[in-house]
């Protein structure tokens, strides 16, 4: 699996972890980008397509099951990894060769902890760097961490994480092919808000209509102006719009729907 730069002669062992559900169109490219890892673990959540077959052919170790909560399935994947360090990705994310080399160098002598890695987000083939936020995309994430230094909380979408140890920062980005087109963005908005509405109902506090209406404008302003989404033209406007709609749609689904 590895190119021989890790896992031997005292070098830290690196696990690549991918959590997937019906990702047969994207899993092969993702796993190929993790060839520099010493092992690859793929968590399959209720898959009904060829994701498992493709992952096994790539030499990945499979953890299959059903986890209604995102945090639970991610924690199951972390527990299955045998590496000293873990790189945790989704099927639409790709570490670049430059990042792979930087990761190997960073963990060679790093104390237990975690690294923040920047993300380059693509909509189709267009790189969109500015404007992300408000549960609609992040600029950096804590996806590289030593064993025992990261765990996920409860929640169906974007659960909180708990980290410990020394914090570090890497420079090379992960390429994130977040949406294929505008229709894909709308499907993601529908899926995310449905899941978040369930979390809100279960929490017993769905918020108020007025507060979530105000968040439309505050989140739009934050993404479009403060985070410079305007520099991305129409895509920046769309990102800010989706971020603004996320809380009010989640609230309305929690209030008006039962599932």
pLDDT digits (tens, 9 = 90+) for 181-230: 999 999 999 999 999 999 999 999 999 999 999 999 999 999 999 999 99
Q: How far apart are the first and last CA of the chain?
A: 42
Closest by CA to 95, choosing from 185, 170, 8, is: 170
Query: Among 152, 175, 191, 176, which residue's Cα sits nearest to residue 69?
Result: 152
Q: Where are the domains of the chain?
A: 14-118+141-178, 182-256
Exposed, middle or buried by CB within 10 Å (0-12, 13-18, 19+), for 88? buried
Please tell me the predicted confidence (pLDDT) of residue 250: 97
Tell me what the pLDDT averaged over the chain comes to: 94
pLDDT in tens, 98-128: 999 999 999 999 999 999 999 999 999 999 9
Question: Predicted confidence band at 5 (pLDDT cuts at 50, 70, 90)?
Answer: very low
Please say if the pLDDT value at position 166 is more than 70: yes
Q: What pLDDT, on a 0 to 100 scale, did the predictor assign at position 2?
A: 58
> Among residues of the chain, what percentage have pLDDT more than 70?
96
Cβ atoms < 10 Å from Cβ of 184: 13
Q: What is the CATH number of domain 14-118+141-178?
A: 3.90.550.10
pLDDT at 82: 97
């Amino acid at each position: 699996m590895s190119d021989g730069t890790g896992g031997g002669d005292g070098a830290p062992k690196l696990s690549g972890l991918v959590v997937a559900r019906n990702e047969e169109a994207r899993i092969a490219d993702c796993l190929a980008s993790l060839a520099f890892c010493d092992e690859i673990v793929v968590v399959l959540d209720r898959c009904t397509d060829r994701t498992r077959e493709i992952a096994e052919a790539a030499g990945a170790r499979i953890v299959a099951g059903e986890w209604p909560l995102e945090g639970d399935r991610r924690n199951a994947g972390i527990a299955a990894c045998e590496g000293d360090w873990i790189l945790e990705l989704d099927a639409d994310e790709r570490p670049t060769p430059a990042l792979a080399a930087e990761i190997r160098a960073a963990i060679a002598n790093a104390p237990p902890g975690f690294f923040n890695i920047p993300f380059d987000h693509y909509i189709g083939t267009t790189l969109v760097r500015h404007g992300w936020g408000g549960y609609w995309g992040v600029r950096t994430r804590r996806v590289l961490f030593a064993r025992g230094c990261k765990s996920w909380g409860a929640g169906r979408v974007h659960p909180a994480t708990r980290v410990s140890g020394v914090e570090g920062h890497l420079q090379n980005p992960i390429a994130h092919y977040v949406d294929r087109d505008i229709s894909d963005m709308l499907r993601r908005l529908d899926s995310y808000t449905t899941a978040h509405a369930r979390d809100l109902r279960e929490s017993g506090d769905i918020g108020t209509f007025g507060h979530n209406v105000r968040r439309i404008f505050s989140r739009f302003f934050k993404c479009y102006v403060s985070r410079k989404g305007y520099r991305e033209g129409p895509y920046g406007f769309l990102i800010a719009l989706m971020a603004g709609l996320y809380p009010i749609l989640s609230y309305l689904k929690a209030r008006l729907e039962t599932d």
